[in-house]
Structure 1
């Protein structure tokens, strides 16, 4: 497999000969207002430009996976530029109907036994924060990829570390795990995605897996920098298992 971080949680995943686009957040820098009730209210989103031309991202896509419909995972630009005939997977029927209303013609809800072009796709659970934040932030999901010619890949999505993430790891034994690890947060309630301690929990649950940390420094409410996560990983002695890509960077795994 080859995984390229575009920006935030937007990934291009080439897996078993198919090109997947994950959580497309494709607007030009600064198009959207800052997320409210959070830091850096003087900074508009996204904070960075796309690192590659948008046509390189959307050309020859076999399928799009949208883990949930928050703006930084499914934005107006994505709705405009993606071909309406592309295969598109969502987490539930509510999201599917909203995507269909934007004109997309081939929308399917991910299940625990979805198969796409010989690739097994398993929807996984997530919690977008802790305590009262779970209800406030709404439903989210992740996905596990499996194919006999590839390593098992787990894209955790917008979730903190909690029991279901641990259960997914123990059930599927992924060799590669992508975590959204920017510790993005509101002014009250704590992180709504993984922070550095959560990433360490993932490592402890599966010490031999390669972990890729994304969703960092791309929207105004980020709370954990790449530099800080790399430093923490060195202190905890798991740098060899952690990738912290810059925007546009790709890895073959």
Structure 2
């Protein structure tokens, strides 16, 4: 398994001989206006440039997984540049129909028993915030990857820590966990993805797992910096279990 951080929640995952692209957010730096009702209204999105050319990101892709359709996970550029015949997984029928309306021909809804090229893909639940924010932000998902020749991988997606995340960890015992950890938030309602305390709870639930923190500092509504998270994990003594990649950085497990 090799996991490469591209930007925000966009990942390239090589797993059991297949190349997966996760949550493609592919526009050039500053293409889109800032997300409303949030910090840094003077900064357009994305805040960072892609670390590698788009053609390198999308070449030889075996499948795309879109955990939900918010702009910073599925943008106009992704719709334009991805091959329309690529295998593409969505979380539900509503998202599938929208993706199909953009011309994609091989769209499948992730289930708890999806198998792709011998790889088990298990859709997991998420909550995109707490309280009223859950309904406002809409449905989100994550995915567990399983294969006899690979470590089990859990990509949690845009979720805060809550019971279903804990249950997923205890059910599948992932050895690698990717968490969206930027504490992104609107001006009211608190974080809509994991903050540093949520990341710590993931670690406590699975102390032997390697955690990879992504979705940080790439859109205007971020609330937790990489530097702050590094200081926090050092204080909590789990720096050895948490990786905070720079854009373009990759890890092999």
Cross-structure match for 1:234: 234
Following the alignment from structure 1 to structure 2, what is the Cα–Cα distance between the partners of residues 150 and 229? 28
Following the alignment from structure 2 to structure 1, what is the Cα–Cα distance between the partners of residues 93 and 108? 8
- How many residue pairs get aligned? The number is 253
Following the alignment from structure 1 to structure 2, what is the Cα–Cα distance between the partners of residues 184 and 41? 14
TM-score (norm 1): 1.00
Cross-structure match for 1:148: 148
Cross-structure match for 1:134: 134
Gaps of 5+ in 1: none
Following the alignment from structure 1 to structure 2, what is the Cα–Cα distance between the partners of residues 174 and 48? 30
Secondary structure (helix, strand or coil) at the match of 1:21 reads strand
Following the alignment from structure 2 to structure 1, what is the Cα–Cα distance between the partners of residues 38 and 101? 30
Following the alignment from structure 1 to structure 2, what is the Cα–Cα distance between the partners of residues 195 and 53? 30
Gaps of 5+ in 2: none
C-alpha deviations, 1:26-74, integer Å up to 9, x for none? 0000000000000000000000000001000000000000000000000
Runs of 4+ in 1 over 2 A off after TM superposition: none
What is the Cα deviation at residue 136 of structure 1?
A: 0.1
Following the alignment from structure 1 to structure 2, what is the Cα–Cα distance between the partners of residues 71 and 186? 15
1:12 equivalent in alignment to 2:1: no
Secondary structure (helix, strand or coil) at the match of 2:38 reads coil
What is the Cα deviation at residue 192 of structure 1?
A: 0.1
What is the Cα deviation at residue 195 of structure 1?
A: 0.2
Q: 1:47-58 to 2 correspondence within 5 Å?
A: 47-58=47-58
C-alpha deviations, 1:58-113, integer Å up to 9, x for none? 00000000000000000000000000000000000000000000000000000000
What is the Cα deviation at residue 122 of structure 1?
A: 0.2
What is the Cα deviation at residue 120 of structure 1?
A: 0.1
TM-score (norm 2): 1.00
Following the alignment from structure 1 to structure 2, what is the Cα–Cα distance between the partners of residues 93 and 60? 26
What is the Cα deviation at residue 128 of structure 1?
A: 0.1
Following the alignment from structure 1 to structure 2, what is the Cα–Cα distance between the partners of residues 62 and 206? 30
1:124 equivalent in alignment to 2:124: yes
1:102 equivalent in alignment to 2:116: no
What is the Cα deviation at residue 182 of structure 1?
A: 0.1
Secondary structure (helix, strand or coil) at the match of 2:51 reads coil
1:204 equivalent in alignment to 2:201: no
Cross-structure match for 1:64: 64
Q: 1:57-96 to 2 correspondence within 5 Å?
A: 57-96=57-96
Cross-structure match for 2:190: 190
Following the alignment from structure 2 to structure 1, what is the Cα–Cα distance between the partners of residues 134 and 62? 32
What is the Cα deviation at residue 2 of structure 1?
A: 0.2
Following the alignment from structure 2 to structure 1, what is the Cα–Cα distance between the partners of residues 27 and 108? 24
